[in-house]
């Protein structure tokens, strides 16, 4: 891993064993993008960018050289207004009303390690030798604006992170109207765009489409990263698939409004940018003040989508997630939500926990309904006081009863919300996001607390501390069940109202940082109506996320498969629920539900007391098997074999880092009459190892499994599944 600078040609070369990223200073002033891809030697990098005069419709900012136009120059951080007519990376309003700026090179520095981002989540290093960082400083002396472009390349990961810090060095106020985290100009536009989109209960479905002249935008305007679109896009070579071809991934470490653009210009080049959504955003930058953009993580793969995914997985497991649970296996849990909803008491909860203990479950999680007067979803959010009508002995008594059974205890919260029907709202009606003289639109009967305000954050943290310190709680499910409307803050002046959504995220991150730091023994799981805020920003504070409120095993094939494009298995909460399924009313076997859920942080979300004796025995085996497999499942490398978006069958496998252990999962959705024979080729194994397959006789050479495959037999009826467990024979 090195970052070098060649001053004669103005070449910056960021390089590790996986890739090279090259920048050139044009005319000593303008950072231009030269190359990103497989690792290459420096050689003739100064000859890569081509120049051609494009007549007067691509104007020339450098009077002495009519071959240079920002309209055609591949730039690192472009502005609008001085000859580039494409999507800009930033825009700044000045006191005279102008938005014309021109940032030019001033200086740079190369440092060992990776600086932290103030107030924002980001990837990190544990030792300086793990990464190197380039900071390029650009200035606009007329505006008094300085921008520091930060690039970090890791030694052992095929990833570069980028962010930008703006500094007002002038004497007048500036207003940021746009502040994206990165821009990459590609020399051609012969790409497909891959995105992860959907809705509540249908998150992160894979969409792939060709770039075409004009602009494609993937964005959220909902105040969160959202169920609708994930803050991720990738450019894929036309021939790229799971195992072959060039793939470039872009993922924003942010949990609020974002925008990712892919634009094709008249000269068939492509521009990709990602960052905070400029829609309804501005930031007043007073003299001497700074603004930091979120971090974006760029991953290059020359071996298809699968290798890109594994690069993200390895980086996020080890250098994004933090805390005690980063490297620990996660407990098998039961959550009472779909078992009881709001209708429960202490005895009912204890009965489910007792049944769980008999089945080998390790953690009981009490979901919504334990506080205030919460008998439905119209009341009590914000009143984080135990409902003594349901739990007369209080939370302490219930936790003690569960602990005596040998289970740990977890609790559901929705700290960012308030019900209009609550003591908190009656006391502080101005604490929610709202705009004067406008209605306060409710979602699920609730409003959103204004986390841009310090006193609101402190008030929420005090309530959380009171509960979390009252009993030995070892797990928290942190939910968030609506998106933002009437985005305004009673604490901000008119000229700063469009800062509210971003200030909310900064406040949320402060709260999460404080609470997760103060309670390191608690495993925090994020949730937003399931996967509505499944993003790297949240994973920095909470190492796992409830993947979707849709627990149907068949629906989960697409949801979990799509999620795995970027996010590791260790980040996905996945439970077995009752049938008929509560979301789509499908009937699937307990075995298949277990097989799907075991490729995640495993648990149950149903009434365990209603199992038959036969079902109890199956669940006992599932729990015992998962306990043996979870180090592999949670920390192994995932290989996708068959896509649910492309056929009736879905398959994936997880392989240990040393290639000695693997789990292969196959699911057939619908039975087929007179079906063709099926052979499944495996991936990720060592071709020189011999493997035992549980339930099969003899040894199977690794190359046999990789290239000849294994037959899929014995599946009948709809929604059937099969698992193979492989262990390398010790040499």
User: Hey, which residues are catalytic here?
Assistant: 479, 549
CB 115 within 8 A of CB 133: yes
Residue 530's region, left for phi above 0, alpha for psi from -120 to 50, else beta, is left
CB 499 within 8 A of CB 282: yes
Task: Give the β-pairing of 572-577 and 11-15.
Answer: unpaired
Task: Give the β-pairing of 523-526 and 191-199.
Answer: unpaired
What Å distances lie between residue 98 and 103, 140, 143, 179, 363, CA to CA? 15, 14, 10, 17, 59
3-class SS of residue 182: strand
DSSP readout, 488-549?
A: --TTS-GGGGGGHHHHHHHHHHHHHHHHHHH-TTSEEEE-BTTBTT-SHHHHTT-SEEE--S
End-to-end CA distance of the chain: 34
How far apart (Å, rounded) are the C-alpha atoms in residues 638 and 546?
Answer: 19
Q: What are phi and psi of 23, to 5 degrees?
A: -125, 145
3-class SS of residue 618: helix
3-class SS of residue 660: coil
CB 596 within 8 A of CB 720: no
The candidate with the shortest Cα–Cα distance to 176, out of 281, 103, 80, 87, is 281
CB 109 within 8 A of CB 132: no
Structure tokens at 586: 């499908």
Burial of 701 (0-12, 13-18, 19+ CB in 10 A): middle
Strand partners, 672: none
Residues 6+ apart with CB under 8 A from 59: 69, 71, 83
CB 33 within 8 A of CB 74: yes
Over the Cα atoms of the chain, what is R_g? 27
The residue behind tokens 């953009």 is 293
Structure tokens at 146: 């300085």
């Amino acid at each position: 891993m090195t970052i070098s600078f060649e001053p004669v040609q103005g070449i910056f070369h960021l390089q590790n064993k996986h890739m090279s990223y090259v920048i050139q200073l044009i005319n000593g002033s303008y950072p231009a993008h030269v190359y990103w891809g497989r690792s290459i030697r420096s050689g003739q990098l100064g000859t890569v960018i081509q120049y051609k005069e494009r007549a007067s419709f691509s104007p020339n900012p450098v009077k002495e050289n009519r071959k240079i136009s920002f309209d055609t120059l591949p730039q690192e951080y472009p502005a609008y207004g001085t000859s580039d007519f494409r999507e800009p990376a930033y825009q700044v309003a000045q006191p005279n009303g102008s938005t014309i700026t021109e940032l030019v090179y001033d200086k740079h520095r190369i440092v060992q390690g990776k600086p932290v981002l103030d107030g924002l989540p980001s990837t990190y290093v544990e030792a300086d030798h793990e990464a190197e960082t380039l900071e390029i400083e650009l200035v606009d002396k007329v505006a008094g604006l300085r921008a520091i472009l930060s690039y970090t390349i890791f030694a052992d990961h095929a990833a570069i992170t980028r962010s930008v810090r703006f500094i007002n060095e002038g004497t007048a106020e500036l207003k940021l109207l746009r502040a994206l985290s990165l821009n990459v100009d590609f020399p051609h536009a012969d790409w497909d765009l891959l995105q992860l989109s959907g809705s509540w209960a249908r998150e992160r479905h894979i969409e792939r489409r060709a770039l075409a002249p004009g602009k494609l935008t993937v964005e959220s305007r909902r105040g969160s990263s959202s169920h609708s679109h994930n803050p991720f896009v990738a450019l894929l070579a036309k021939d790229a698939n799971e195992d072959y071809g060039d793939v470039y991934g872009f993922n924003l470490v942010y949990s609020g409004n974002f925008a990712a653009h892919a634009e094709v210009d008249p000269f068939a080049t492509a521009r990709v940018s990602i960052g905070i959504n400029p829609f309804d955003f501005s930031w007043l930058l007073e003299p001497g003040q700074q603004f930091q953009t979120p971090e974006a993580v760029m991953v290059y793969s020359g071996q298809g989508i699968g290798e890109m995914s594994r690069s993200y997985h390895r980086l996020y497991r080890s250098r994004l997630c933090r805390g005690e649970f980063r490297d620990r296996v996660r407990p098998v849990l039961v959550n009472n939500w779909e078992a009881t909803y709001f209708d429960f008491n202490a005895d009912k909860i204890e009965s489910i926990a007792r049944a769980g203990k008999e089945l080998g479950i390790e953690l009981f999680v009490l979901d919504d309904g334990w506080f205030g007067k919460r008998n439905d979803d119209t009341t009590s959010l914000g009143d984080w006081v135990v409902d003594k009508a349901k739990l007369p002995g209080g939370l302490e008594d219930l936790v003690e009863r569960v602990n005596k059974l040998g289970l740990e205890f977890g609790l559901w919260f929705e700290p960012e919300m308030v019900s209009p029907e609550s003591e908190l709202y009656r006391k502080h009606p101005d604490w929610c996001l709202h705009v004067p003289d406008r209605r306060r639109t409710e979602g699920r009967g609730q409003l959103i607390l204004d986390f841009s305000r310090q006193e609101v954050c402190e008030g929420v943290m005090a309530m959380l501390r009171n509960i979390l310190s009252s009993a030995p709680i070892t797990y928290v499910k942190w939910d968030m069940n609506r998106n933002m409307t009437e985005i305004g803050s009673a604490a901000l002046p008119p000229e700063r109202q469009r800062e509210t959504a971003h200030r909310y995220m900064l406040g949320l991150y402060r709260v999460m940082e404080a609470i997760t730091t103060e309670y390191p023994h608690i495993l925090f799981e994020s949730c937003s109506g399931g996967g509505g805020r499944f993003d790297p920003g949240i994973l920095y504070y909470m190492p796992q996320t409830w993947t979707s409120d849709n627990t149907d095993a068949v629906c989960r094939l697409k949801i979990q498969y799509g999620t795995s494009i970027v996010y590791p298995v260790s980040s996905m909460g996945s439970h077995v629920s009752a049938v008929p399924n509560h979301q789509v009313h499908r009937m699937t076997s307990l075995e298949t539900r277990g097989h799907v859920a075991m490729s995640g942080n495993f648990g149950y979300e149903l009434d365990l007391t209603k199992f038959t004796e036969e079902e109890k025995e199956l669940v006992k085996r599932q729990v015992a098997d998962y306990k043996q497999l979870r180090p592999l499942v949670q920390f192994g490398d995932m290989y996708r074999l068959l896509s649910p978006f492309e056929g009736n069958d879905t398959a994936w496998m997880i392989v240990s880092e040393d290639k000695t252990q693997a789990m292969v999962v196959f699911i057939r959705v619908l039975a087929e009459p007179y079906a063709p024979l099926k052979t499944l080729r495996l991936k990720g194994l060592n071709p020189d190892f011999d493997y035992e397959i549980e339930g099969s006789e003899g040894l199977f050479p690794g190359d046999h499994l990789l290239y000849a495959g294994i037959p899929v037999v014995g599946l009948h009826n709809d929604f059937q599944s099969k698992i193979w467990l492989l262990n390398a024979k010790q040499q």
